[in-house]
Amino acid sequence: MTFAMPRVSTWLNGGVPALQVAAWAGHSVDVLLRVYAKCIVGQEDAVRRRVEEALRAGRTAGESKIGP
């Protein structure tokens, strides 16, 4: 498992979804997050931006459906 640790932490820090990383690493998502959560750093700003973008896109899509 120590051989995979740098690779797994790189994938996680690169924004690869945990489900995909777990599949590539041969772990369950539960094990992946318990073992590698401490390796995930600096993603809060990027995640917040993605949420804000998704919310904006949802509002824009909803607004285009309103009207005659």
Query: Which pLDDT band holds residue 15 (cuts at 50, 70, 90)?
Result: confident
Note the pLDDT of residue 63: 56
Q: What mean pLDDT comes out for the span 33-59?
A: 86
pLDDT band at 38 (very low <50, low <70, confident <90, very high): confident
CB 47 within 8 A of CB 30: no
- Tokens 């690779």 map to which residue? 7
What is the pTM for the complete model shown? Answer: 0.61
- Residue 58: per-residue pLDDT: 83
Query: Which structural domain range is residue 52 located in?
Result: 5-64
The domain tally of the chain equals 1
